[in-house]
């Protein structure tokens, strides 16, 4: 089984990158999720990228070079740790595939928090900090108003690191 890597793509060109990579014989995974939005006054369900600007790719580095992948239309570069492209655990890919479009995932993307809710950050660099939920942006991140040093500072963080107080 070939290792999985994470590619950073040009803005809004994940689908193009995925198409060109597949033509080269690379297995790709571009997770998308159904999100309800209001467009022209009507509620509609649209597909949005789960991770904007990122595509997972699996290939044999002995058959297809890293340079070939990096030179593909829509691809900027590999996500790296130092000089080497970072390998993505196979378990992460299978877990994402299993929940990508399930009811559980749709629930996770709905507005679990309402503007003005008092919340506590449960992981990450702001762990234990109390905040006021402001809004959710299109990248499944939450904008928070955190009282730091007597003033409110906006911070972007993932919804999964939050819980209601």
| Segments forming the whole domain that contains residue 46 | 4-109
Min mean pLDDT across 17-26, 102-111, 150-159 is at 102-111
Mean pLDDT of 16-28: 94
* Of the listed ranges 57-61, 100-104, 110-114, 142-146, the one predicted with least confidence: 142-146
pLDDT at 105: 54
When pLDDT is averaged across residues 113-138 and rounded to a whole number, the result is 68
Residue 67, SS3 per DSSP: helix
Please report, rounded to a whole number, the percentage of residues in the chain having pLDDT higher than 90.
30
Please tell me whether residues 128 and 54 are part of one structural domain. no
Closest CA to 78 of 156, 26, 141: 26
Q: Do 83 and 11 fall within a single domain?
A: yes
pLDDT of residue 144: 46
pLDDT of 154: 60
- 8-state DSSP, 65: -
Higher-confidence residue of 133 and 8: namely 8
The mean pLDDT of the chain is 76
- Please tell me the predicted confidence (pLDDT) of residue 109: 46
pLDDT the model gives residue 165: 64
- What is the token pair recorded at 163? 């819980």
Domain boundary among 78, 109, 140: 109
pTM metric for this prediction: 0.62
Q: Output the domain CATH number for residue 98.
A: 3.30.70.940
The answer to whether residue 72 scores a pLDDT higher than 90 is: yes
How much is the CA Rg of the chain, to the nearest whole Å? 18
**Rounded to an integer, what is the distance from CA 159 to the centroid of its chain?**
11
> Do 154 and 77 lie in a common domain?
no
* pLDDT attached to residue 91: 83
């Amino acid at each position: 089984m070939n290792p999985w890597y994470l590619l950073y793509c040009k803005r809004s060109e994940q689908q193009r990158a995925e198409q060109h990579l597949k033509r080269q014989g690379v297995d790709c995974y571009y997770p998308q999720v159904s999100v309800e939005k209001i467009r022209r006054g009507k509620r509609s369900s649209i597909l949005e990228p789960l991770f904007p600007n990122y595509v997972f790719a699996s290939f044999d580095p002995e058959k297809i070079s890293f340079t070939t992948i990096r030179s593909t239309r829509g691809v900027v570069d590999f996500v790296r740790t130092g000089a080497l492209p970072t390998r993505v655990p196979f378990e992460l890919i299978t877990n994402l595939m299993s929940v990508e479009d399930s009811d559980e995932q749709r629930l996770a993307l709905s507005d679990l928090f309402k503007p003005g809710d008092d919340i506590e950050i449960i992981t990450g660099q702001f762990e234990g900090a109390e905040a006021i939920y402001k809004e959710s942006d299109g990248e499944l991140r939450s904008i928070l108003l955190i009282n730091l040093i007597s003033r409110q500072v906006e911070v972007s963080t993932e919804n999964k690191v939050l819980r209601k107080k």
